[in-house]
Amino acid sequence: MDNNIKPSKTSLNNETFLNKNSHHQPTFLDEAPTFKHINDLKKILDSRVESFEIDHISKIPNHHEMKNVKEASKLVAEYIRDDKHIMIAGDYDADGICASAIMLDFFKYIGYKNVSFSIPNRFKHGYGFSEALFLEELEKNPDIALIITVDNGVSSFEAGELCASKNIRFIITDHHTLHQDEDGNELIPPCDFLINPKQAACHFPYEEVCGSLVAWYFTRGIASSLDIKLEAWQRSSLVFLVGVSIISDVMPLHALNHTICNYAIKSFHHQKRPCLETFKKGFYISKADSTMFGFKLAPLLNSAGRMDDGKVALKFLLASDEKEAYYYFKILKDLNQKRKILQEEVFQEACETMVETSNLIMAVGKDWHEGVIGIVAGRLADKYKKPAFVLTKSKIEDYKGSGRSFENVDLIASVQKLSHLLNRFGGHTGAVGLALKFENIQPFIDGFEPIYFENKPELSITGKISHTLINMNTLRLLDKYEPYGNSNAMPIFYAELYVKSFILKNKFIEFVLYKGDIEFKAMMFGVEQKPKELEVGDILRFSFTLNQDSFNENKVVLFINKLF
């Protein structure tokens, strides 16, 4: 921690406790329903999706509804017919990798070979399609005629100017919030076309989408301009990657995003990508759901850009056979394990040295690994229930880092108010990246004021559930409303069961609970010591999510997230 920034005296919250003196239900249950019959739960879940205008992939908005898709597609079609060199400029996170794979696979499916790609290295180039990356790629491929960015580009002002100066056509496809001038006017980098639902002139009905969805919509426009129709499995392959990106980028699960993710989950076991067969075998995957996407596949893809080079993840997705896929899978799995270790180290240091105000958490280090600071910011935001920022000294810039929102704080809008303190920044409502000089960190802390968007926070507990409903039938019902995530939270239940046995293992407790003659397996993670006064025979009051037991597909396991 740098000496001029005062660490917080706030101690870490300890949510792992057991109040044996309390014989009453927590007060939050006064507002939560009680589920005694499965239809009680079904009514709640139905209410979440009853307003959706879309309930099938065939009903999604037309690609021409997204501004500039039609015009930009005609330009790409012209360059394809003239066999000109097209370069895809992606990003190193899971969304950017998937978006790059979507574009590259699309060109492969239509038989166009005069295509290359570029993925920035976080540690060498920084974020996005920068001037340095542009010059590097141009030196390798001097015949580049058209550059298409995916999941980035709204910050590529210098690269856009260079494209214009060298007569290289430039199309930006992105989903991040555009920069603004002092009067609130949009600032758009020099380009031939900008495809981004967030630009003011775009009337696409869904603004909060991921970069992969924008890229996929663009491929649909190009196919239309070329009068080409992909085979069903090819179309499915591209949509699947959009679903992965929606979950990995924590996009709100409104009608469009929910419908695409639902399709991706249902099509998982029918996909023909060799990398997915390798992934299933490597992680013993039998069930596809949003949890698997968000906690297994997305972190694996993200690990490359966080720890080494995003191209490793892209090559994994594009692998032509299982042998090639397994080669990259091993690298990714090793990188992800290293990421977990580094992430925990930085998180502990950040907790010890952070600054806490009424509006934010700020942690600053001198040599924290850049690849994990975004995850750490997210953990701090979850733990302290407010927006969190984590910065580290950078080899490229002064201090750079990431911010993560909490609940209904519009983070990018909040940060834009302090743009005069920043070298650069970008992002969306839930997450931002930023860089600034050290002397501007304290003014940033002092000046940060959250801007909120209208969104009623979801009740943390879905309801109290009867022990007779903790079974596979209830889990099957929950599966029908997948995916779960942002704006469609995984149902969290409250229960009171007796403790038959428990054992403390490596940072988790495994319970056997019971009521009447029914026993339940339960697990609580992130626990280093036994909760106070917990004994066999006690009533355990807790909240949990219902999951399939990975060791017995016909059984459920309760993942406990809090004791009361």
For 84-115, give one letter per residue: b (16+ CB within 10 A) or e.
ebbbbbbbbbbbbbbbbbbbbbbbebeebeeb
On whether both 432 and 504 belong to a single domain, the answer is no
pLDDT (0 to 100) of residue 128:
81
On whether both 81 and 219 belong to a single domain, the answer is yes
On whether both 39 and 143 belong to a single domain, the answer is no
Total structural domains in the chain? 3
**In 233-342, where do the E strands start and end?**
none
pLDDT (0 to 100) of residue 125:
85
pLDDT (0 to 100) of residue 560:
96
Q: Which amino acid is present at 439?
A: E
Examine the fold and report which residue of 452, 485, 503 is the final residue of a domain before the chain moves on.
452
Asked whether residue 176 is assigned to any structural domain, the reply reads: yes
On whether both 77 and 199 belong to a single domain, the answer is yes
Determine the Cα–Cα distance for residues 127 and 35; give it in Å rounded to an integer: 47
Q: Which of 49-53, 293-297, 298-302 has the least mean pLDDT?
A: 49-53
The β-bridge relationship of strands 493-504 and 85-89 is unpaired
5 pLDDT exceeds 60? no
Give residue-wise pLDDT tens across range 174-233: 999 999 888 889 999 999 999 999 999 999 999 999 999 999 999 999 999 999 999 999
Asked whether residue 367 is assigned to any structural domain, the reply reads: yes
On whether both 518 and 382 belong to a single domain, the answer is no
Asked whether residue 165 is assigned to any structural domain, the reply reads: yes
Asked whether residue 348 is assigned to any structural domain, the reply reads: no
Q: Which of 279-293, 498-512, 522-536 has the least mean pLDDT?
A: 522-536
Segment 75-79 long-range contacts (CB within 8 Å, at least 24 positions apart): 75/146, 75/169, 75/171, 75/192, 75/193, 76/146, 76/148, 76/171, 76/222, 76/225, 77/222, 77/225, 77/226, 79/145, 79/146, 79/169
Examine the fold and report which residue of 452, 482, 505 is the final residue of a domain before the chain moves on.
452
Q: What is the CATH number of the domain that holds 366?
A: 3.10.310.30
On whether both 497 and 445 belong to a single domain, the answer is no
Asked whether residue 66 is assigned to any structural domain, the reply reads: yes
Q: Which of 109-123, 202-216, 424-438 has the least mean pLDDT?
A: 424-438
On whether both 144 and 215 belong to a single domain, the answer is yes
Asked whether residue 369 is assigned to any structural domain, the reply reads: yes
Q: What is the CATH number of the domain that holds 218?
A: 3.90.1640.30
pLDDT (0 to 100) of residue 269:
95
15 pLDDT exceeds 60? no
Determine the Cα–Cα distance for residues 558 and 521; give it in Å rounded to an integer: 6
Examine the fold and report which residue of 409, 427, 452 is the final residue of a domain before the chain moves on.
452
Q: What is the CATH number of the domain that holds 523?
A: 2.40.50.140
pLDDT (0 to 100) of residue 25:
64
On whether both 83 and 209 belong to a single domain, the answer is yes
Residues 6+ apart with CB under 8 A from 133: 89, 118, 120, 125, 159
Determine the Cα–Cα distance for residues 466 and 486; give it in Å rounded to an integer: 26
On whether both 84 and 186 belong to a single domain, the answer is yes
Helix, coil or strand: residue 3: coil
Domain region containing 183: 57-230
Give residue-wise pLDDT tens across range 125-140: 877 888 889 999 999 9
pLDDT (0 to 100) of residue 115:
98
Asked whether residue 387 is assigned to any structural domain, the reply reads: yes
Give residue-wise pLDDT tens across range 85-102: 999 999 999 999 999 999
pLDDT (0 to 100) of residue 11:
33
Other Cβ atoms within 10 Å of 255 Cβ, number: 18
Give residue-wise pLDDT tens across range 227-252: 999 999 999 999 999 999 999 999 99
Q: What is the dihedral of CA 441, 446, 451, 456, to 10 degrees?
A: 110
Mean pLDDT of the chain: 91
pLDDT (0 to 100) of residue 338:
94
Q: What pLDDT band is residue 407 in, cutting at 50, 70 and 90?
A: confident
pLDDT (0 to 100) of residue 100:
98
On whether both 374 and 504 belong to a single domain, the answer is no
pLDDT (0 to 100) of residue 16:
41
**In 304-351, where do the E strands start and end?**
none
pLDDT (0 to 100) of residue 358:
94
> Above pLDDT 90, what percent of the chain?
80
pTM of the model: 0.86
On whether both 162 and 209 belong to a single domain, the answer is yes
Between 167 and 430, whose confidence is greater?
Answer: 167
462 pLDDT exceeds 80? yes
Asked whether residue 2 is assigned to any structural domain, the reply reads: no
pLDDT (0 to 100) of residue 506:
84
On whether both 84 and 157 belong to a single domain, the answer is yes
Other Cβ atoms within 10 Å of 81 Cβ, number: 10
